[in-house]
Amino acid sequence: MMTKREFADVVDIVDLRVDAKREDIRQLVVDATNHGFIALTCLKSYNPFVFQTLKELGRRDQVKVVGGAGFPTGGEKTFVKVASVRDCIADGCRELDITCNIGFIKSHWYDKVEYEMRSIVSASEGLPVKFIIEISYLTGDEVKRVCELIIKSGGSFVKTGTGWGPNPTTVEHIRLLKSQVGNEIGIKAAAGIRDLETVITMQKAGATRFGISRQSAMQILSQLPD
């Protein structure tokens, strides 16, 4: 059984709802810092408010804030994603979650996918970059190829999904990713992860980080021992 500390150490607690209000994001910050979650994520327009809240609470260094680019479709031009990365870094973000261009992957336009990945890693100033591949859309061969490109481009993690895709992440998805990346990069499981059993099973299958909604993360946390 995980402890509260072990759970919080591998979870990015998130609120990416389009209707999330300012008080919801403040609660996200409070929960993230009170319970020691490794990172928090929200829509990037709220990032300045997040850092202001962390400063007011005196907890600026207690949690990493994850910046995003391309969320949720991945369809922006590369220069827009690069500009978003630089903007997130200027805000103070310490990790980056980037949605890949899924249409380009499905088109097997891998030179463009690689160019974008390299451009983003180059702009990241050495911060960890998690590339979101929306695995539910991809074939096994496409997963294999995009994992190769993430490793080749210097990405730190492959992330399963945004939570806005057609299906939740499964344990089989994690096993497939583990078979492709081994220990070369991390695997972040996200999209539809709502219970402790799923977290434990996915961790055993190879997931090293999780993206979980604030409500689900707090519910899971309440079930764990200190």
CATH number at residue 173: 3.20.20.70
Full residue range of the structural domain in which residue 119 is found: 4-222
Of the candidates 188, 195, 204, 226, the residue annotated as catalytic is: 188
Residue 31 designated active-site: no
Q: Is the pLDDT of residue 61 over 90?
A: no
Q: Is the pLDDT of residue 106 over 90?
A: yes
Give per-residue pLDDT as tens, 131-151: 999 999 999 999 999 999 999
Give per-residue pLDDT as tens, 5-22: 999 999 999 999 999 999
Of the candidates 97, 152, 178, 226, the residue annotated as catalytic is: 97
pTM across the whole model? 0.97
Give per-residue pLDDT as tens, 141-199: 999 999 999 999 999 999 999 999 889 999 999 999 999 999 999 999 999 999 999 99
Residue 159 designated active-site: yes
Residue 64 designated active-site: no
For tokens 């539910």, the residue is: 136
DSSP string of 182-217? TTSSEEEEESS--SHHHHHHHHHHT--EEEEEHHHH
Q: Is the pLDDT of residue 60 over 90?
A: no
How high is the pLDDT of residue 23? 98
For helices 110-123 and 78-91, give the axis angle rounded to 10 degrees: 20
Instruction: Please compute the mean of the pLDDT values over residues 118-142 and round it to a whole number.
Output: 98
Of the candidates 64, 81, 130, 159, the residue annotated as catalytic is: 159
Number of independent structural domains in the chain: 1
How high is the pLDDT of residue 1? 79
- Write down the mean pLDDT value for the chain: 97
